[in-house]
Amino acid sequence: MDIHDRQHREILRDIACRAMLERELLPEFAAAALAEVQGLRSSGASMGGQGRDLTALAWASLDNHDSKDLDQLTVAEVLPGGRARILVAVADVDALVRDGSAIDGHARHNTTTVYTPAQVFPMLPEELSTDMTSLNPGEERPAVVTEMVVGEDGEIEGSDVYEAKVRSRAKLAYETLGAWLVGEGPAPEAVASVDGLAETLRLQDRAARAMRDLRRARGALDLQTIEARPVFEGDTVCELRAEGRNRAKDIIQDLMIAANGVAARYLSAVGYPVIRRVVRSPRRWNRIVQLAAEQGQLLPEEPDARALEAFLALEKREDPLRFPDLSLSVIKLLGPGEYVAEPPGEDPPGHFGLAAKDYVHSTAPNRRYVDLITQRLLKAALGKRPWPYTVEELGVLAEHCTRQENAVNKVERTALKAAAALLLESRIGEEFDALVTGAATKGTWVRLLTVPVEGRLTDGFPEVDVGDCLRVRLLSVDAERGFIDFARASARAKGVSSRRGRPLRGA
Give the total number of structural domains in the chain.
Answer: 2
pLDDT in tens, 230-289: 999 999 999 888 877 889 999 999 999 999 999 999 999 999 999 999 988 887 899 999
- Checking if the pLDDT of 90 tops 80, the result is yes
Is residue 51 one of the residues assigned to a domain?
yes
Residue 52 shares a structural domain with residue 185: yes
User: Quick one: pLDDT at residue 156?
Assistant: 97
**What's 441's domain CATH number?**
2.40.50.140
- Checking if the pLDDT of 402 tops 60, the result is yes
Residue 331 shares a structural domain with residue 343: no
Indicate the pTM of the whole model. Answer: 0.88
Per-residue pLDDT band at 1 (split at 50, 70, 90): very low
Q: Where are the beta strands (DSSP E) in 79-153?
A: 84-91, 114-115, 120-121, 140-150
Q: Which residue has the higher pLDDT, 440 or 203?
A: 203
Is residue 217 one of the residues assigned to a domain?
yes
Residue 373 shares a structural domain with residue 328: no
User: Quick one: pLDDT at residue 352?
Assistant: 81
- Checking if the pLDDT of 377 tops 70, the result is yes
Please give the residue range of the domain that contains residue 218: 3-279+337-417
**Which residue, of 417, 438, 461, is where some domain finishes?**
417
Residue 268 shares a structural domain with residue 296: no
Residue 116 shares a structural domain with residue 28: yes
Largest alpha-carbon pair distance within the chain?
Answer: 69
Is residue 499 one of the residues assigned to a domain?
no
For 354-373, what is the mean pLDDT? 93
Q: Where are the beta strands (DSSP E) in 68-192?
A: 72-78, 84-91, 114-115, 120-121, 140-150, 156-173
Residue 113 shares a structural domain with residue 218: yes
**Which residue, of 363, 398, 417, is where some domain finishes?**
417
Is residue 39 one of the residues assigned to a domain?
yes
Is residue 114 one of the residues assigned to a domain?
yes
- Checking if the pLDDT of 177 tops 60, the result is yes
Query: pLDDT over 90 for what percent of the chain?
Result: 68
Task: Count the helix, strand and coil residues of the chain and give each as a percent rounded to the nearest 5.
Answer: 40, 25, 35
What average pLDDT is seen over the chain?
A: 90
User: Quick one: pLDDT at residue 277?
Assistant: 93
- Checking if the pLDDT of 439 tops 80, the result is no
Is residue 236 one of the residues assigned to a domain?
yes
**Which residue, of 367, 390, 417, is where some domain finishes?**
417
Q: CA-CA distance, 376 to 95, in Å (whole number)?
A: 9
Residues 6+ apart with CB under 8 A from 429: 473, 474
- Checking if the pLDDT of 383 tops 70, the result is yes
Residues 6+ apart with CB under 8 A from 268: 274, 344, 345, 358
Is residue 495 one of the residues assigned to a domain?
no
Q: CA-CA distance, 466 to 287, in Å (whole number)?
A: 8
Per-residue pLDDT band at 501 (split at 50, 70, 90): very low
Give me the helices (H) in 360-438, please.
369-382, 391-424
- Checking if the pLDDT of 420 tops 60, the result is yes
User: Quick one: pLDDT at residue 355?
Assistant: 75
DSSP per position, 203-265: HHHHHHHHHHHHHHHTT-------EEEEEEETTEEEEEEEE---HHHHHHHHHHHHHHHHHHH
Is residue 505 one of the residues assigned to a domain?
no
For 318-346, what is the mean pLDDT? 86
Residue 309 shares a structural domain with residue 400: no
Find the range with the poorest average confidence among 132-136, 217-221, 338-342: 217-221
Residue 98 shares a structural domain with residue 142: yes
Residue 273 shares a structural domain with residue 307: no
- Checking if the pLDDT of 506 tops 60, the result is no
User: Quick one: pLDDT at residue 224?
Assistant: 81
- Checking if the pLDDT of 135 tops 60, the result is yes
Residue 7 shares a structural domain with residue 48: yes
Q: Left if phi > 0, otherwise alpha if psi is -120 to 50, otherwise beta: which for 90?
A: beta
Residue 316 shares a structural domain with residue 257: no
Per-residue pLDDT band at 416 (split at 50, 70, 90): very high
Find the range with the poorest average confidence among 6-20, 330-344, 440-454: 440-454
Residue 293 shares a structural domain with residue 367: no
pLDDT in tens, 29-71: 999 999 999 999 887 665 555 789 999 999 999 999 889 999 9
For 12-17, what is the mean pLDDT? 96
